[in-house]
Structure 1
Amino acid sequence: MSYCPFFQTLHDETRPVGNLGRGTHYSVLRVPVWHDEFLNRINRCGFLDFAVIWDEDHDDRVIDAIMMLYVGGLLSPIRYIGERKGMLTVILAPNAVRDWDPEALQRYIDDINDVCQCLEDPWSAHVAGIGEDGHSIIHAPPENVALYLKNIDMLWHLGVGPRSQTS
């Protein structure tokens, strides 16, 4: 399935797989970017691979939020994104959370929240790092969620890289 003309769909689960959370499944999308995970300009176009984590209703309005983040230049640090119960959860690259100065991270979080308020149906946002507890991207024990997300990264090597369009 193609969710947006700017995104290449590398993997797409359209319905629940397994028994994690409430109907959890995911898609992996690729998009050209001109910034690294710290939002620094890169010399050559890179490709960001990131995962959309779906719940049972596969609410594709999350794609609208992703599009707004993309055109706003905010997508490069994101590794996982999903909506559950009116909350957009954005999980960032580990280096972004660890290495960004607190003021820059707060500005980024504020920008994400601003985007969520501009949606046709505004959402709250929660921005977290990989492995942090307290986010609600999947309704399941945190250790199971962390393992699920790590497995997706292991399979797809999420992040910004000089990937070819067909790799």
Structure 2
Amino acid sequence: MIYSKFLYTEFEQPHNNDSEPGYTIFSTPQPWGVYAMGEQRVGILSFAVLWDGKPDTRVINLVEQAIVRDVMAPVRLLHAHEGTLTIVFKYEGEELDIEAFRLAWEDIGSGVQLDCWTVEVIEECVVGHLLFGGRLFRKYAPEIMATHNLGMSFYTQDDFLFKDEWSKVEMAVFGQQQDSDDEPPPNMELF
């Protein structure tokens, strides 16, 4: 499903009838900041949203605001439940002003449509602890985080969605088509 112009849906586990919640893994470009290396100024952030029932697009709206405000990079998982937005973050070696991060998210959460959510910001290392999140969060967030590679990564050519279509044979045929109006060689498909 397309949720946002900012987000690419990497994986989606729908809510099922056995009371297991659904979740979505998203990716989005994010700046590396002071840790940029050479040409690598932007990385890819992968993060999860654990849904409380069906997807709540208000969470997507908050994520878009966080991207625009540049407070999304440390986020690994979000979960909105019973008027609370739980945000899991992890340091990746970058300096992070926790108080500024928390205040930015509290401001974002206070503007949710038709509601005002309390924001709970926790470090990844305490996910699953009884003091944080709701029942669904404590039960499913640790597994989601262990199963998926969440966080920032450098962009490489392997991240290009159509890289597998660029085989040498297909590119040779495509180049021939560009150079002449000849038919492609027998037994070779263009697409």
Q: Could you state the TM-score of these two structures normalised by the residue count of structure 2?
A: 0.69
| C-alpha separation in 1, matches of 2:146 and 2:117 | 30
Pairwise CA distance, 1:17 = 7.2
Instruction: Please identify, of 148-157 and 74-83, the stretch whose mean Cα deviation from structure 2 is larger.
Output: 148-157
**Mapping for residues 6-155 of structure 1, pairs under 5 Å:** 6-16=6-16, 23-35=20-32, 40=34, 42=36, 43-93=40-90, 95=91, 104-120=97-113, 121-132=115-126, 133=129, 134-136=131-133, 138-140=134-136, 142=138, 145=139, 148-155=140-147
Q: How large is the RMSD of aligned CA atoms in angstroms? A: 2.6
More strand by share: 1
- Which structure ranks higher in relative contact order (CA pairs < 8 Å, sequence separation ≥ 6)? 1
Q: Which runs of 4+ in 1 moved over 4 A?
A: 98-101
Q: Could you state the TM-score of these two structures normalised by the residue count of structure 1?
A: 0.78
| C-alpha separation in 2, matches of 1:99 and 1:41 | 7
Percent identity between the two aligned chains: 21
Q: Where does structure 2 lack aligned partners over 5 or more consecutive residues?
A: 164-191
More helix by share: 2
What one-letter code is carried by the residue in structure 2 that aligns with 1:124?
A: T
| C-alpha separation in 2, matches of 1:71 and 1:16 | 33
Structure 1's 141 and 123: CA in aligned 2 closer, same or farther, altered over 3 A? closer
Partner residue in 1 for 2:4:
4
Query: Contact between 1:16 and 1:55, CA under 8 Å: does it hold in 2?
Result: no
Q: Which of 1 and 2 has greater Rg? A: 2
Pairwise CA distance, 1:152 = 2.5
Pairwise CA distance, 1:162 = 1.7
